Amino acid sequence: MAQSRQLRLGAFMRPASIHTGAWRYPGAWPDANFNFPRLRRLAQTLERARFDAFFMADHLAVLNMPLEALKRSHTATSFEPFTLLSALAGATEHIGLVATASTTFDEAYHIARRFASLDHISGGRAGWNVVTTSNPDAALNFGLTDHVDHDERYRRAREFYDVVTGLWDSWADDAFIRDVESGIFFDPARMHVLDHKGEHLSVRGPLNIARPVQGWPVIVQAGSSEAGRQLAAETAEAVFTAPATLADGRRFYADVKGRMEKLGRDRDHMKILPACFVVVGDTLEEAKAKRARLDSLVHYDSAIASLSVALGHDASRFDPDGPLPPVPETNQSKSGRERAIQLAEREGLTVRQLAQRLGGYAGLAIVGTPASIADTMEEWLFTEGSDGFNIMFPYLPGGLDDFAEKVVPVLQDRGLFRRDYEGTTLRENLGLPRPANRFF
Amino acid sequence: MAQSRQLRLGAFMRPASIHTGAWRYPGAWPDANFNFPRLRRLAQTLERARFDAFFMADHLAVLNMPLEALKRSHTATSFEPFTLLSALAGATEHIGLVATASTTFDEAYHIARRFASLDHISGGRAGWNVVTTSNPDAALNFGLTDHVDHDERYRRAREFYDVVTGLWDSWADDAFIRDVESGIFFDPARMHVLDHKGEHLSVRGPLNIARPVQGWPVIVQAGSSEAGRQLAAETAEAVFTAPATLADGRRFYADVKGRMEKLGRDRDHMKILPACFVVVGDTLEEAKAKRARLDSLVHYDSAIASLSVALGHDASRFDPDGPLPPVPETNQSKSGRERAIQLAEREGLTVRQLAQRLGGYAGLAIVGTPASIADTMEEWLFTEGSDGFNIMFPYLPGGLDDFAEKVVPVLQDRGLFRRDYEGTTLRENLGLPRPANRFF
């Protein structure tokens, strides 16, 4: 197999583990999500393993789940992305730092400025995960009683992107001459006043910080709707997706890369990185046992609530230790019901096991040995299912250490993953071009 | 003299040096204001010298000065406060980190969250300099064509403060129990939903981060107007002021501490820290020569513009090397004219020297030997002129190193300044109480 195609690996680190049972796993840190020295240690391990990026999802509210489930969740609270990633910038040298920031509930000038500042402080390692924020609870924290409509949010996001990138281009790369002799600090001819007046935003500029080291921090997105895919094709350089299967992944990959080409963009200038939950064992049985153990730590109250939502049917009266009984079809959640039934059949799960799987993490997962995990990743990479993955760890630090120490060396031995960082910036490591300044 | 009263020292670090000529001083770093490794080195020096806090002023626009002056200014651009201070949090252990954030151009939920996050990451070292942002250029960067009126800004600021502190109290200090055995991560009875609906803000809560280490980050203010003083008396725990003389300082001190007592607050629960530009020499003559050298590096074009503004009269036709000629009184800037004329007479300055003083830094300054500087500070401290100072350094790193290495030991020998930090948090070091949670 050709060695030229390389995996890109992000680490999905908010929550530090997505699995609801993670904090209760034997040996795990219950406070991994909210303890700076521990997050610093994890970031440093990821950097030694040559990960491309530390990725921080974000929420602008306490997660909207029933209190009975919320009180059992280690994800209820978290650090704010810019403060955490800036602190990690000082404790790492190579790994990319991708912060989620909302185009609906923040100001373009603030966002442009913070990413530029993070990019300078980190020596060119910042990435912006552009989100439009679909959580209606967030609106209530920002003075709105109704959530902003989906299409409206995407139109604003597109304009917001134009303004932020325009502000990043406020200064030519060579604007700051700092000539001690003549006393000229910058060349005013190399400063641009944006003076944007659009449908949603009115922003004068210039930005009060020099152009970012990377020109622009790397643009990341995760939207999967029609509007989300189109915005990604127009603007994104990395996309985080959540396909359920390789076939799903390939459809998404072909669709979005096709849209890029129609827009005249080079398809290699976007890296598609599905979210993937990885459980490593020395044998397949050990890996499966780890996952079963982890799922068993999801409290039954939370678990059965998740199963009921998936089925569109109250599952609380089912025998927890029996097989899933026949469930009538309802108008709600057809695909969720179908997937749950298939999952129970495929793996022979009891009601309890099925509920705990859904209440833990039910998305794309690779559970196996380092070799079998590498096999699966290789298949995705070479059949255009993805350009790499955004890895979710089952518990911390063990699940992350297992990936770093056992899976990464196998990927490296197969020539699928770097042994050293290619460059000094996130953009260079991902193989993305540095954007030209549109004004100079 | 009693040894109980202790100086509190902040370092005014945005810009890293306020003096317009700083970046051109022999041996200075021209990029000190915008180079993370250099700022880290300065913060570490300040910490070794036991400074209370690294203070970052802020502007939400490129400074509004004439382009001819702006292009010669090292303060035109800067890092964003939260990203810089978070990165410094990882590189220091004791020094307080005070960020300026605007109540006019930001959201209360964002501000509450970022300061809480910085406070957790730094182990309790965050402070919030509450500003209402009077720069009209800032409004243009945030979708507003007219600047918000002064009284309106202060009414919003008061409500904003209530919301931010209310959000910080969203969780009891003991809410997060993380009981692995029972699977309870937090106690829902120890979470409070703010549900604020006021004149300017509507914010539901709860905040998605635990209560700050300090309960609340230290509240700092700098307003000197009637509304600013009253807000400070009601809410502030540290106040940065800009008196021109000790008499000014004492009037402000008596006024604001008196207001506090009327409100039932303990006068020791606010530290008043005037901004003070300090130039250190081994002799008085050397200190004066350093300042004259520094002033001489202010370009004459910038300098004469500053003098013209101060006099309310075009000074560009005056003989630069002659004495200040008689200047007719105008309706503009009476106090500025008066101060400039007095300064020229008192120090026997030529037009050029006067212009360069005004174009460099014309506020409160102490220029002298370590002993004479300590004398002056002691006088302020013991005559209720202040509780300490917010020090501005003339150039970097030399001006800061001189203060740390030469002045601080004298202050310590006199028992006026700590040899070791008193506690682990900014609040403990400043001698401020930890606020009770209003809901638990």
d(CA B409, CA B374): 10
Interface of B with A in 19-38 (CB under 8 A): 23-24, 30-31, 34, 36
Residues in A closer than 8 angstroms to B117, CB to CB, are 79-80, 83-84
Residues in A closer than 8 angstroms to B114, CB to CB, are 80, 82-83
Over chain B, what is the mean pLDDT? 94
What is the per-residue pLDDT for A328?
A: 85
> A173 and chain B: CB distance < 8 Å anywhere?
no
Say which residues have a Cβ less than 8 Å from residue A96's Cβ, sequence separation at least 6. A10, A52, A53, A54, A125, A126, A127, A218, A426, A429, A430
Cα B423 to Cα B46, B126, B198, B236, B429, distances in angstroms:
17, 14, 37, 21, 5
d(CA A236, CA A231): 7
Q: Give pLDDT tens digits for B59-117.
A: 999 987 778 889 999 988 899 999 999 999 999 999 999 999 999 999 999 999 999 99
Considering only CA atoms, which of B189, B259, B267 is closest in space to residue B231? B259
> A143 and chain B: CB distance < 8 Å anywhere?
yes
What is the per-residue pLDDT for A435?
A: 98
Q: Find the radius of gyration of the CA atoms of chain A.
A: 23
Q: Do B137 and A202 touch (CB under 8 A)?
A: no
| CA atoms within a 13 Å half-sphere pointing along the CA-CB vector of A358 | 27
Q: Do A186 and B71 touch (CB under 8 A)?
A: yes
d(CA A174, CA A189): 11
Over chain A, what is the mean pLDDT? 94
A384, A250 contact by CB (below 8 A): yes
Phi/psi of residue B361, nearest 5 degrees: -150, 120
Kindly report whether the peptide bond that precedes residue B243 is cis, defined as omega within 30 degrees of 0: no
Q: Where are the domains of chain A?
A: 8-170+198-277+369-430, 286-359
Among A208-217, A256-265, B63-72, B254-263, which is the least confidently predicted range? B63-72
Q: Do A83 and B201 touch (CB under 8 A)?
A: no
DSSP type of residue A337: H
Among B74, B78, B183, whose Cβ lies nearest the Cβ of A208?
Answer: B78
What average pLDDT does this structure show over A293-306?
Answer: 92
Residues in B closer than 8 angstroms to A73, CB to CB, are 185
Residues in A closer than 8 angstroms to B208, CB to CB, are 59-63, 76-78
Residues of chain A with pLDDT > 70: what percent? 99
Q: Which fold has domain B8-277+369-430?
A: TIM Barrel (3.20.20)
What is the per-residue pLDDT for A147?
A: 72
User: Looking at the predicted structure, is the pLDDT value of residue A349 above 90?
Assistant: yes
What is the per-residue pLDDT for A333?
A: 66
**Residue B57 to chain A, least CA–CA distance (Å):** 13
Residue B330 burial (10 A CB sphere; 0-12, 13-18, 19+): exposed
Q: Give pLDDT tens digits for B326-365.
A: 988 877 667 788 889 999 999 999 999 999 999 999 999 9
> A77 and chain B: CB distance < 8 Å anywhere?
yes
Say which residues have a Cβ less than 8 Å from residue A32's Cβ, sequence separation at least 6. A16, A17, A22, A23, A38, A39, A42, A74, A396, A397
> B198 and chain A: CB distance < 8 Å anywhere?
no
What is the per-residue pLDDT for B333?
A: 66
What average pLDDT does this structure show over A232-252?
Answer: 96
- Neighbour count for residue B212 (Cβ, 10 Å): 26
Instruction: Report the amino acid identity of residue A40.
Output: R
Residues of chain A with pLDDT > 90: what percent? 85
Among A90, A201, A206, whose Cβ lies nearest the Cβ of B62?
Answer: A206
d(CA B102, CA A427): 33
CATH number of A8-170+198-277+369-430: 3.20.20.30
Residue B436 burial (10 A CB sphere; 0-12, 13-18, 19+): exposed
> A79 and chain B: CB distance < 8 Å anywhere?
yes
User: Looking at the predicted structure, is the pLDDT value of residue A94 above 90?
Assistant: yes
Considering only CA atoms, which of B374, B344, B378 is closest in space to residue B362? B344
Mutate to test the interface with B, among A14, A74, A185 (most CBs of B within 10 A): A185
What is the per-residue pLDDT for B2?
A: 40
Q: Which uninterrupted H or E stretch holds A155?
A: helix A150-168
d(CA B374, CA B368): 9
Q: Do A109 and B205 touch (CB under 8 A)?
A: no
What is the per-residue pLDDT for A145?
A: 74
Q: Is the dihedral of CA A308, A292, A17, A380 positive or negative?
A: negative
What is the per-residue pLDDT for A134?
A: 79
What average pLDDT does this structure show over B270-282?
Answer: 98
